Amino acid sequence: MKPHTEPPVVGGGAPLMVALPKGRLAEQTLELFAAAGLPLPGSDNGRKLILESAAGTLRYIMAKPSDVPTFVEYGAADLGICGLDTLRESRRQVYEPLLLPFGYCRLSLAAPADRPENPLRYESQPRVATKYPNLTADFFRSRGVNAEIITLHGSVELGPLVGLAHLIVDLVETGSTLQANGLVETRKIMDIQAVLIANRAAYHLKRESVEQVINRLQAQLKQLENPSRKVYDRNC
């Protein structure tokens, strides 16, 4: 593992702010940052929401995953990590400099296994439960189907089980949640993985620091693709 050298601070000494999604993606992000030799947040008792690296050049905001694009679009964070699902649903305007090799899953339409499978265009006003109302509306609109979208914030698979919805649109990773609840995936809407996002202004105004983070991550990703290749550490 490379030493954690802190990138130089630009912009009048302001640290780079990085919005991390609390939970699964944060763990994988920090593993990648560590392997790339980027400064990590100091440890705390798990309640602090802003954590600084040892030399104070990176500051991590511990955000609810769905809020990461908001922090980044408004410039409260210069960089952020989130899933493509969260980013596309949020419709936030940010740069997407790097796809990250984790958080793989797909956004899919699913139905009760015993429901006769109709071509979508024959669905008459299906009720669809989802955590992704914008993406779901886009999907049905683009197919000319007038769907009623019911927004839930979790356990979306409950929708058809309790008669709230006919169909669901949700993330599928292993498929075991669908299977355990008598549902089947009927159409994939989009592939999902984690992505590094950047505030548009910060990308230019803090270019040196932002580029260093991106370059180090890119070098580490190349190393993962081809472990025999020696990474050229610019130590910039």
Cα angle 184-188-191, degrees, rounded to a multiple of 5: 130
Q: Which of 113, 155, 229, 233 binds ligand PRP (CB under 6 A)?
A: 155
Total of residues contacting ligand PRP (CB under 6 A): 12
Of 123, 176, 118, 115, the C-alpha closest to 147 is 123
* Stretch of 25-33, 169-177, 194-202, 219-227 lying at the interface with ligand PRP (CB under 6 A): 169-177
Q: What span, in angstroms and rounded, lies between the C-alpha atoms of 95 and 77? A: 13
**177 or 223: CB nearest ligand PRP:** 177
- Residue 64 CB, shortest distance to ligand PRP, in Å, is 12
Options 4, 34, 175, 193; binder of ligand PRP; rule CB under 6 A: 175
User: Interface with ligand PRP includes 177 (CB under 6 A)?
Assistant: yes
| 73 near ligand PRP, rule: CB under 6 A | no
Sheet holding 95-112, edge to edge: 50-52, 58-63, 16-21, 79-83, 183-198, 95-112, 167-172, 127-130, 148-151
Residue 176 lies near ligand PRP (rule: CB under 6 A): yes
Per CB under 6 A, 171 contacts ligand PRP: yes
DSSP category for residue 205? H
Q: How far apart are CA 65 and CA 68, in angstroms?
A: 6
Q: Is 13 in the site for ligand PRP (CB under 6 A)?
A: no
Question: Rounded distance, CA 135 to CA 89, Å?
Answer: 6
Q: Which stretch binds ligand PRP (CB under 6 A): 65-73, 170-178, 197-205, 227-235?
A: 170-178
Least Å distance between CB 31 and ligand PRP? 19
| SS3 assignment, position 96 | strand
Question: What residues between 28 and 67 interact with ligand PRP by CB under 6 A?
Answer: none
Among 6, 85, 89, 170, binds ligand PRP (CB under 6 A): 170
**Distance, CA of 45 to CA of 43 (rounded, Å):** 7
H helical segments located in 77-199: 84-90, 133-142, 158-161, 176-180
Using the minimum distance from each CB to ligand PRP, give the nearer residue, 44 or 173. Answer: 173
Q: Which residues bind ligand PRP (CB under 6 A)?
A: 154-157, 170-177
